Structure 1
Amino acid sequence: MTPYIEATSLWKNSIGLAGPDHESDQKKEILRATISRFRNNVSALTSRIATQFPELTIHDVTHLDALWETASLIAGPTYPLNAMEAFVLGGAILLHDAAHCSEAYDGGIAAVRDTVVWKDAYAAEISKGNGAIQEQIQKSCDFAAMRSLHARQAEVLGVREWPGNNGMLSFFLIEDPELRSRYGSLIGQIAASHNWSIEDVKRKLPPQFNPPGTWPIGWIVDPIKIACLLRCADAAHIDERRAPDFLFSLTRQSGVSLNHWKAQNWLGRASVDTSDSSNSSLLITSMSSFHPEDAKAWWVAYDAIVLIDSEIKSSNDLLASRPQCEGESPQFRMRKVTGAESPLELSRSVRTQDWTPTAAKIHVGNLEKLVNDLGGKQLYGEGDNFAIVIRELIQNARDAIRARMAIAANFNGRILIKVARKSESKTVIEIWDDGVGMSQRTMVGSLLDFGTSFWASDLVQSEFPGLRSSNFKPVGRFGIGFYSVFMVASEVSVLSRLYSDGISDVTKLNFPDGLTLRPILSKGGGDGFDAAFSTRVCITVDEPIEAVKDRLINKGQPIELRVPLKNYLAAITVGLDVSVALQIEGESQRQVHENINSLRSQDKVREWIIDMTFSDVLGSPVDASAKYVCENFERIRCIEFEGRIVGCAALIDLPPHNGLKYLTTDAIGGLTNNTNRGAGGYLGYFENQPTSAKRDSGTKVAPTGVLQAWANEQILILRQKNASQEQLYWAASNLSNLELDPIEIISFPLVYPDFTVVLKTFDEIFDILVSSPIPSLMNRQCNFSETNLGFVCIDGLPTLRPLSAGNLIHLELENGHPKYPWSLLGCLARLVSRRGRELEYEVKPNVLTTFIGVLDAFVIKLKPVQA
C-alpha cells in the first residue's frame, strides 16, 4: 500500500499493526496485498472519469487515498478498527465514486443511455429548447445519469466480472476469490451508502457482519460504523488536492463547475481546530480571500462545510444511539465543524474581502397564505412582462414614499427612473425613491420572505412606530411583487438605507444571476448612491436601449405601435399618488407623471389623458382615438373618495367595437400593466380592488353612490352638449355595464315589420304599451334578449331588441320583477312604476328556430288597471 495511507492512524492501528500471533499476521498480509491490488485496479478505472467528465473535480485514486486521512482525522487517533473493518473501509472508499465512468457499467455508455434515468435527463434537456447540438445534449445527459446512478452501480462493482479479451481470463476488481465472495457485496453496499440518507444507513445495513470460519473470530465488521466513516471522510475531502492549480488552469472550467473547482482550489486541508480545548472541532481555512466576483464559489465552499458538519453530527448521533457505542463503535472524536453554524462565522476562516456573506435566502415564509392569495392560479400569466416588472417596482417605491409621508410632516416624495446602456444588447434600469428605505434586517428578512409583506409584518412596528396606526395604505399586500423582476432581469441589485441613516449605512443586496443562487450582501453604496434618495433598485434587461426607449405595443398584431418610454410609463402610472420622473442616458430629465391628486386644472387633465392614451403618438390629428380624446377630454371629472382621487374619467358615448384604442384602463394602487387597451365604457381610469396576487381588477374602490354622482354629472354634461339620442343610448349602455343607473337617458330600440330600428323614448314606448304588447326575442338558457341574430320582428309587433350585448339585455325575473334594475327591462319597469302602472310578462315558447337554438318570445305588457 502507499506510504501515505500507511501513515494514517486508522491503517496503522488496524491492518498495519503487527498481530498477536503468526496466523493473524498472515491474514493481515493477505488483506494488505488484496487491497493493494484492488487499489491498482480501481485506479485504472477511475482514471477514465477525468477523460469523460473533465468538469468534475478530482475523482481519481488520489481522492480515494485522501479519504484515509480525513477518516482518521474525524475518527480520532485511537479510534477502534480491526483489520477486516479496515479492509472493508478501504474497499468501500475505492468503489464509492468508481461508477462515474461508462466502463463501470455492463454494456458501457449504450447501457447507461438505455436507463430510465438517462432518458428522463434527455427529455429534460430537450424541453429546454436551448439550441444545443445533439452531441452536447447527450454528453450532458451522460453526466447527469451517471451522477445519479454511480452509488447504485457501486453496489455491484465489488463482485462484477469484466470478460477478458482475446481469450484472456475474466477480470475482477477484488482479485482474491474468497474475500470477493464473502465481502464483495458488503463492500459495494457500504460504498453505495455514501449517497443514502443517514436513516437509510441505519435501516438498510446490517448491524454486524461476522468473519468466515478461517479468519480470526474477533474480526467482526460493523457495517454502520464503516458507512459513517466513509460518508464523513468523503464529505470532508474538499481541499485543493481535488482541484490542483495546474489542472485547474489546464481544464479551463466555466459555469457551475468553475465555482466548484475554485472553491476547492482555494481551501486548505481540514485540521483540528486548536482554539477548541476539547480538540473535537474540525476547522477548514481558505488560502485566498473570496472577492465579490468569487461569491458563488464561496457559497459552494459554505454548502460543502455545512454538509461536513451535518454528516459528522448525524453519524455521531447514529453511533451514540446503538449499544455498540460502549464497545468497538464509539462516536468520532470530531463533533462539529467550526463556522458551519452561520455564513458570517465561517467567513472568519474561509475569508471574504469587500463583501459579507449573509444567511439571507429566498424562501416562502407563509406558503398557506400565498396559495390562498393566488387562488391556485399562476401568478401573472400572459401579458407584457416588462410592464408588470415596472409596475411592481414603482409600486414598491410608492409604498415607501407614502409610508414616509405618513410619518414625516410636509414630506412630498418622488420616484426617478433612470435608463442607461450597459452594452449593445443590455440596458440598465434604475428605480430610485426617497421613501422610508430599508434596514439590513428588512432586506435580508422581509424583502426576501416570499409571501409575507413587510407592511403586514411585526417588523413595521419596531422600524416605523406609528405607521401601522396611521392612514397609510400600502398597495403591496402579498409579499411577492419583488420577485416579478426576475421575469425580465438577468441581474438585480437593491441598495437601501433607512431615510434617517447616512450613506455609510447603505446595504446592498445583489442578485448577479437572477433568481438562481443566493444574493450577495455588502455594505456601502459607493460613490454612485445619490444622498437625496433612500433606495435604488437596479435591473439589467436583455434588450438594447433603443428597444427600452421605444416600447412595442400590440406586438405581433396587424397594427403595432411604438410608444416612447415616457408615454408608456405614463400609462402604467395613470392614477399614482406619487410623482414620477424619467432620466434617459444622454437626455434631459422629464416629468412622466404628477401626483394624481394634483390633477385639478383642465390643462393638466388634457396633458394627463393625452399621455395615458398615446394620443400624441398615434400620428395624424384626425386619428379616431386622438380625435375623440381632443373632443371629449373637457368632460373628464375626477372621482374622490375618502380624501383621495380614485378615478378620472368621462363617459364614452359610442358603441362597443368602435375601433378606438388605448382610452380605457383600470388601475390598482394607481398602477396598471395593461398598456394595450381598447375603449370601454369610459375615457380615463377607475381605481379597483385587486382580486388576487396577480392584481386582476375587481370591484371599483369608489362606492356606488360616489360613482353614480359622477354618472349623473356626465349625463348633465352630455345633455348640455346636445348629445344625440343615439349618443345617449350608448352612454346609457356603458353606464349599465358599469352597474350604474342609466334611467335618466335610457331609450328603447324597437324593430318594426320593415326591419327598421328606431330608438324610442319612454313616453313613446309607454304609448305603444297602452295599445299593444312589446315582445323581445329571448335566449331561454340565459334569459336575455338575443343580439347574435339580425333584426327580427315578432308577430308584426314592435320588438324590443338591444343594439349590443351587455347588461341592458337581461330579461331575468325575480319574484315577478326584473332582477337587473339597470337593464332595458328594469329601466322600463321602473319608469312605468313612476306612472303608477305595472308591467306583466309572458313567455311564448318556440317562436323561432335558429343556428343558435330555439328561441322564445318574452312579451311585455301593461298590467290592466284594477277597477
Structure 2
Amino acid sequence: MPDEFELTPLWQKAFTPLADDQHADHRSRLRLSYFSLRKTVQHLADSIAIDLPMFTDHGLAHADALWGMASTIGGDVSLNPAEAFVLGGAFLLHDLGMALAAYPGGEADLERDPKFADLVAIEEQRLSSTDRSASSERVRTGAQQHAIAELLRRRHAAKAEELITQAFSLSNGDSVYLIEDHQLRLFFGRQIGQIAHSHWWPVADLKDKFAPPQGSCPAFPSDWVVDRLKLACLLRTADAAHIDHRRAPSLLHAFRKPSGLSRSHWYFQERLLRPVAQGDRLLYTSTGPFVADEAEAWWLAFETIQLINDELRQVDALLADMGRERLALRSVVGAGSPDRLSEVIPVDGWNPLDARLKVGNTVQVIANIGGRDLYGNRPDIALRELIANASDAVKARAAFEGASPRPVSITLELEGEDGSWWLEVADQGVGMTPEVMIDALTDFGHSHWRSDAMVEDFPGLAATGFEPVGKFGIGFFAVFLAADEIYVHSRGYNDAPRDTHVLVFQNGLAGRPLLRRANDLNEQLRDSGTKVRIRLRDDPRSVKGIFRRASKRLSHTQLLHSIVSRMCALSEVDILVQGPDDPRPRMVIEANDWIGLPTGELFRRLYQQGGENIVEREALERCEKLFIDRETRICGADGRVNGRAAIVTQMEMWTAGAFGTDKMGQLYVGGLQSSPFQNTLGAFRAQPLKADRLSAFPLGPVAAVADWANSQATRIKDLEGFSADRLWTLADYICGLGGKAEELPCVRVMEGGLNQTQLASWLKDRPMVHLISRSGFRHYPDATPWGFYTRDGESVALPDHGLLVDFFPYWFIPEDICPRPKDSRFEGVVADLDDDDPQAWWYQWASFGPVSLAVRTVAEVWGVDVVELVKGMRGHHATDEEDGRLEIPTVQGGTTKATAYTLVRDDYGRSE
C-alpha cells in the first residue's frame, strides 16, 4: 500500500508511470533513489525528537506531509521527475540539521562554535535574574542545554546544505552518503542542499540566488530542467503552512510533556485540521472551539497564521514581479482579523478582541518615557548617555579583539558656532552598520548588545564577560532632552570608510529621521566607530543646559572639564575633552586610573567643581581630611577594586559645613555617575536598580560590602574625637550594610555606650534588663550631659537595668539584592501575632543589627536560647485602650514613657 505522500498530485504527476513512457527507466531511477534517501535519513530524522523534545514534529512525518501541503498551495503547478526528486530531497533534508547526530562530533562540535559561549553567557544572565535562588550549577546546566538547542535551531538550515555531500563513517570505517547514486549526488546534491537551506533565507534572497536558469542533467531528458526558484517557493510556503495536528499528535504530546510557549504551540497545532484551499486562500479549521483557558494557544495560532499569510503574500509578490508562474494560494483566511479567524477556528466563552498593550502616540510615549518622565529635568543625562553608548562600543571592541580598552578612546568636543552650541561625542568602538543604526537608534526599547545580530556579527563577545552599561535600548533617546538636531555618523567594524552612514534627526522626535551614506571625505570615518554631533537647545552654561549651572565664575571649557571629570570619574576607557578654549583634546580621565590615584586627588575629582567660594573651599578641606583618614577599598571576589570610600555620619558632614547629595559618596554604573550613597564619602562601582541608572547599589557580592563596612568599623573606632553616640550611629549604619560592628557600641547606658564585650560584663549580675526604644527621645550627640531628651527638653535618666537600643535598625541593601535578615525559626508563628508581640518584632525587625547583638548577648550571658528568650519578653506598649509604656525618670525629677521590652532572668529558670 503506497504511503500518503505518493497519492499527492505533485508526486503523481512526476512519478506515476505513463503508458508507453519512453522515460520510464529515468523516472524509476529517480523514484527509487528518493525512497532510498528517505530510508537512509529516517533514523537521523527520528533523532530530532530526542534532541529537541520541546519542539513539534520535525521528523519524517513532517517531510512526508509537505508533499500534500505543496500540492494544495501550488495548485496546477507541476513538476518534472528531476524537480520532484530535488524538491523531495529538500523536504527530507531541510530540518535534519536539528539532529545532533548530523554533527560528527555531536555536542562538542556545537560547543566549538564561537556563538555557543555567547548564548550560554546570555542565558545564564537571564536565568540568574529571573530566579535568584537557582544554584550556579543549575543555571549553568540550563544555559548549556538552551545554547545547544538554540544552535541547532540557528544552524539547521545551513547544515542541511552540507549534509547531502557529507560522508558518514560506518563502524567498519567505510564511508557512505545520504544519496548513494554518485551521479545523482553529483548533479542534484548541491541543488537539494541549497533549496533545503533556502527555507531559512529572506524571500528577497531567492531572486538573486535561484533566478538564473540552469541546464538539465545530461543523464536525463533535456526538458527535465530544475526550476530552483519554483521549488524554493514551494518548500518555504509548505513548511510554513504545515501547522495542523499531524505535527503535534496528542499521544506524542503526552510522552514529551512540553511546557511554556512550546506547550501552547503543541496545543493549538494538535487542534487544527488539515488546511484546505478556498479560492486562492488557505483555510484552517479546528476540531472544536477554544475555551477561555485555551485563549493563549488560540492567540498563538492567530499570530502563526499571520506569519503564514505574510509568507504566501511575499512569495506571490516575488513570482508576480518576476513574471513567473504564481502559486494557487496567496493568503490565509482570517489572517487579517481575530474576529474573522474566530469564524473558522471558533472560541467559546470569550471574545477574541486584540487587547495586547499598544502604543498610541509613539512619539509622545518615547518623548516622555525616554525623556523627562524617566530622567526628570536633567539635560546633563543626555551627555551621560552619549558617553555611556560610546564607552560600551569601545569596551566591546576591546573585548572582541582581546585587548585592553586603552588603544581606543572617547573624545568630547564643545564648540560655539554661529550663535549655537554644538556637542560632539566620538568613539573608535565597534561602530554600526546601517541596519544596526536603524535598529539601535530608532527602535525604542531595542537593546542591540544582547540581540541576535550582535551574536552573529561579534561571536564570542558575550562570552568574554563584556557587560554593557546600556541594557534597555532607551539611553540614546535621552539626547532629545538637550537637542532636536542630531547627526549620527557610524562606520561598521568590518566596513570601509566609504561605508560610513549618517542618521539625521532634523526636528527631534517629531520628524522622520533620514539615513544616508556619508557625502564626502569629511563625513567619512577613518576607523570603525560612531560620532554623534548635536545642536544644544540651550546654552550649556545655564540652568537649562547640560552643565545645569548659570554661574559665570567658570568658562564653558572649565565647566566641561569639571562635569566630565565627576561624571566619568570611574571610567573604564580613556576620555579626552576639547572645550572652546582648548587648542586640542586633553586627556581628562585615563581608563581605571581612579584605582591608583592618591586619596586626596581622588577626593578632588569627585567633589571639587571649581568656582567654590572660601566657605565652600574650607568645607571641602574638612571633608577631604575625613576621607583621607578613613578611606578603605572594597574588593570583589576576583580581587578587583570596586570602590574607595569612607563611612561618615550626617552630623559629621553638617559639622564640616558640607550639605547636599553632591557631598555624599557617589555610585558609578559602568564608570559613569549614577546616584549618591548616604553616610559615605568616596566612589563605588555599582549595579543599577532601575533602567534610568539614577539609583544604584555598590557592586556585589554583598559580603564584600559587609567586609568593607567592618573594615570601616575597625578604622574608625580608634580615631580621636568620636563620642559614644557617634560610634553608636555608625554601628547602626555598618550593620545595615551587612556588617557586624561588634567592636562598636550596640546599646547605651547612663555611663555611655557599650560594645558586645562590655555589655556581657554589664549583664553579669543583672536580674533583669529593660530594652528601651530610642525612638521616643530627641537626640543631641554632642550635648552635655549625654544627648537624649524628652520632647519637653528634660534629660532622660535611664533606670539601672535600662539599655537604650534602636528597635528598628536600618537595612540599606535593596531587598531584591539581599532581603533584610529574619530569624526563620519564627516564620511560622508571626502571621497570627500583633506587631507589638516580641516574636513578631524580633522576626520582622530586630534579628540583625545592634539590637540583635544586644539580645543575643543577653541570651549568651544568661545561658538561654534566643528563641526562648524572645518568647519570654514582656512588652510595654501603648494600645487603643491604655498607655502601657515603661515609665522612665528624668534628671530633673520628672518622668516620661517609652516603648520597651523587659527580660527577667528568673523567668527562664536562671537565677543570678
TM-score (norm 2): 0.47
* Structure label with greater radius of gyration: 1
